Structure formats: structure tokens, C-alpha cells
């Protein structure tokens, strides 16, 4: 199929983009990498009156590494997260969870066009990058012609393909805080084929100090109608000594609370079992890496 007719605009500044969004509101749709939007246009699942191409907007593709935060422009290509970002990060760093997660996204050709902000704004419940930024406690910076606001992932991701972005707002940057020394990360996923969306994925960041877990960030994809922030599991981990038995028990208890949607790939019970397995593995791997990071 071909898309329904639309007007095409290609602003070159953030201010111009915001003016366009303010003028057209929910009749406009932002085009970044287009890996999700273009198929939706072709199948006429999306029928915007105005397509706003932000690929030539200056200032949206920066990568800034500071002592206390990593700031990524919303239009940073996923391939840049995979290849360019690691060389700019201190080692070890919890920020390494991002290139680790993006390696599971589609295939190299997909990642060469897809953007970080595009994946987050699309809010697919089985997508990897929403889980990674949730686990790391990122802040998402939203701008409109009237000003700017900052929200956390729990506020940004509202549900199935739904975010808190207003029609006149643009996601411009993602700021990820630095984690303490002694933090290890892990991203694990099971999918039918490499590059497919996750049946279940787990993103984990764990800080260990003096033999105890002092901080944890855990998020899952593919187990609900949106990205799941495992706050109860995080709370249960803090204060614990890393131990295989503890991880297995906490992972199983948390997975039992999940209510994954059944689909052609398997029933809810399968996804719950998969979540428990991946959580236990991710916790073990992240704490193992935290020991190496502290050494």
C-alpha cells in the first residue's frame, strides 16, 4: 500500500520544529528514523495531515559525556549508540547498558536509521531501549513552543504505544545519571530470531558496596502492555548480599506477580517463566560485573 496524502515539512532548527507542532497539533507526525512510522504510514495505520521530518534539525544528535551525566540527543542513531558511544565512555560505566541493549534492536541496517528518541516515543512494550533507560533512571527532556519539562520513564511511558508527549511537544534529549563505582549491568533477551522484538527482555543495573547491594535498577520488556519498572524487585534487592539462592527466590517471586499478554508465541505462563529465568541470570551477571568494576 501507499500512504494517505500528507504535507511534508523539513525544519532545520528546534524552534522552527516546535512552531510547526504548535500550529498543527495532533494532525502532525514527527519523522526521525522512520523504522516504525513508515510501515505504519504505508499500511495507513497512521494518517497525519503533516509529516515533520526532523532529520535536518541541528542540535538533536549530540552525545555529551560529563562526570555526573550522559546526555544524548533524541535523534542519535541507534548505530551510533552501538559503535560511537562506547569509545566515549569511561570504563567501567553503567552507561554501557545502552550499547548492550541496542545490539538486540533489529539489524544493522535498521539501527543505522533508527533513533534513540524514535524508539522511546514509539513506546513499543517489547522494545529494548525503553527498558534500558528505565533501568538507568534516565530523564527525558520535552520541549514545546511554550517551554520545557523533564519527566522520568515512569511518567513518560503511559502504556501500549502511548507516552505523555503532548501533540505540540518534541522529545529533544535523554539525560542518564552517572551510577556509583561498583555498578555492573546486564541486558538479556529471548526472541524468536535475533533482531526480532523481545518475547521477554531484562535490563539490570546493580551497585554493590561492602558486600551488599546498595542500589538497583531493573526493567522488563515484553511482559505487559508497556515497559515494566520492577520497583518491588529493586526494593527487595537493596541490602542483600549477592547470592544465587537470593536471586532465584526474588526473581521467581517477582515474576509470579506479572500478567503478560498471551500471543501466538506462547501463553502468559511461558513469559512468566522466561521472566524469572532472565531476571535471575541478569542479576547474577550484573553483580558479577559490579565486582569487576570495583576491582
Q: What is the pLDDT of residues 185-206, one digit of tens each?
A: 999 999 988 878 889 999 999 9
Confidence of residue 91 (pLDDT cuts 50, 70, 90): confident
- Mean per-residue pLDDT, 26-37: 93
Instruction: Note whether 163 and 67 are same-domain residues.
Output: yes
Neighbours of 20 (CB within 10 A): 20
Lowest-pLDDT choice from 42-56, 139-153, 269-283: 42-56
Instruction: Note whether 26 and 41 are same-domain residues.
Output: yes
CA distance 163 to 262: 23
Single pTM value for the model: 0.96
- pLDDT given at position 241: 97
- pLDDT given at position 266: 79
Q: pLDDT tens digits for 242-272?
A: 999 999 999 999 999 999 988 887 799 999 9
Burial degree of 138 (CB within 10 A; 0-12, 13-18, 19+): buried
Number of domains composing the chain: 3
Domain that residue 122 falls in: 63-177
Instruction: Note whether 151 and 257 are same-domain residues.
Output: no
Instruction: Note whether 68 and 173 are same-domain residues.
Output: yes
Neighbours of 221 (CB within 10 A): 28
Inter-residue contact 287 to 206 (CB < 8 Å): yes
Q: What is the mean pLDDT of the chain?
A: 95
Instruction: Note whether 98 and 132 are same-domain residues.
Output: yes
- Mean per-residue pLDDT, 100-116: 95
Q: Of 254, 260, 255, which Cα lies nearest the Cα of 236?
A: 254
- Out of 177, 197, 223, a domain closes at 177
CA distance 35 to 118: 9
21: CATH: 3.30.43.10
- pLDDT given at position 293: 67
3-state secondary structure (DSSP) of residue 170:
strand
- Mean per-residue pLDDT, 68-74: 98
Confidence of residue 45 (pLDDT cuts 50, 70, 90): confident
Instruction: Note whether 282 and 189 are same-domain residues.
Output: yes
Dihedral in degrees, nearest 10, Cα atoms 13, 17, 23, 29? 160
For residue 1, is it within any domain?
no
For residue 161, is it within any domain?
yes
Peptide bond into 186 cis (omega under 30): no
- Out of 148, 177, 206, a domain closes at 177
Question: Where in 34-127 does DSSP place strands (E)?
Answer: 50-53, 63-65, 69-73
- pLDDT given at position 294: 63
Instruction: Note whether 155 and 72 are same-domain residues.
Output: yes
CA distance 260 to 267: 8
Instruction: Note whether 99 and 19 are same-domain residues.
Output: no
- pLDDT given at position 295: 59
Inter-residue contact 198 to 221 (CB < 8 Å): yes
Amino acid at each position: 500500500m501507499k500512504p494517505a496524502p500528507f504535507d511534508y515539512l523539513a525544519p532545520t532548527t528546534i524552534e522552527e520544529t516546535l512552531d510547526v507542532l504548535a500550529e498543527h497539533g495532533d494532525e502532525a507526525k514527527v519523522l526521525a528514523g522512520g523504522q516504525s512510522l513508515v510501515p505504519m504510514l504505508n499500511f495507513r495505520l497512521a494518517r497525519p495531515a503533516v509529516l515533520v521530518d526532523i532529520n535536518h534539525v541541528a542540535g538533536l544528535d549530540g552525545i555529551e559525556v560529563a562526570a555526573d551525566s550522559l546526555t544524548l540527543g533524541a535523534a542519535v542513531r541507534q548505530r551510533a549508540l552501538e559503535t560511537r558511544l562506547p569509545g566515549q565512555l569511561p570504563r567501567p560505566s553503567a552507561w554501557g547498558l545502552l550499547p548492550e541493549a541496542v545490539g538486540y534492536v533489529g539489524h544493522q541496517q535498521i539501527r543505522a536509521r533508527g533513533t534513540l528518541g524514535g524508539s522511546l516515543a514509539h513506546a513499543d512494550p517489547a522494545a529494548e531501549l525503553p527498558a534500558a533507560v528505565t533501568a538507568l533512571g534516565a530523564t527525558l527532556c520535552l520541549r514545546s513552543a511554550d517551554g520545557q519539562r523533564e519527566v522520568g520513564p515512569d511518567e513518560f511511558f503511559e502504556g501500549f504505544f502511548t507516552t505523555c508527549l503532548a501533540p505540540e511537544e518534541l522529545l529533544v534529549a535523554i539525560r542518564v545519571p552517572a551510577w556509583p563505582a561498583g555498578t555492573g549491568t546486564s541486558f538479556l533477551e529471548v526472541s524468536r530470531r535475533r533482531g526480532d522484538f523481545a518475547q521477554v527482555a531484562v535490563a539490570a543495573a546493580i551497585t554493590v558496596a561492602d558486600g551488599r547491594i546498595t542500589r538497583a535498577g531493573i526493567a522488563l520488556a515484553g511482559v505487559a502492555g508497556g515497559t515494566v519498572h520492577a520497583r518491588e524487585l529493586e526494593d527487595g534487592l537493596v541490602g542483600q548480599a549477592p547470592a544465587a539462592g537470593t536471586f532465584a527466590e526474588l526473581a521467581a517471586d517477582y515474576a509470579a506477580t506479572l500478567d503478560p499478554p498471551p500471543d501466538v508465541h506462547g501463553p502468559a505462563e511461558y513469559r512468566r517463566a522466561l521472566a524469572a529465568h532472565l531476571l535471575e541470570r541478569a542479576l547474577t551477571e550484573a553483580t558479577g560485573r559490579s565486582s569487576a568494576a570495583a576491582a
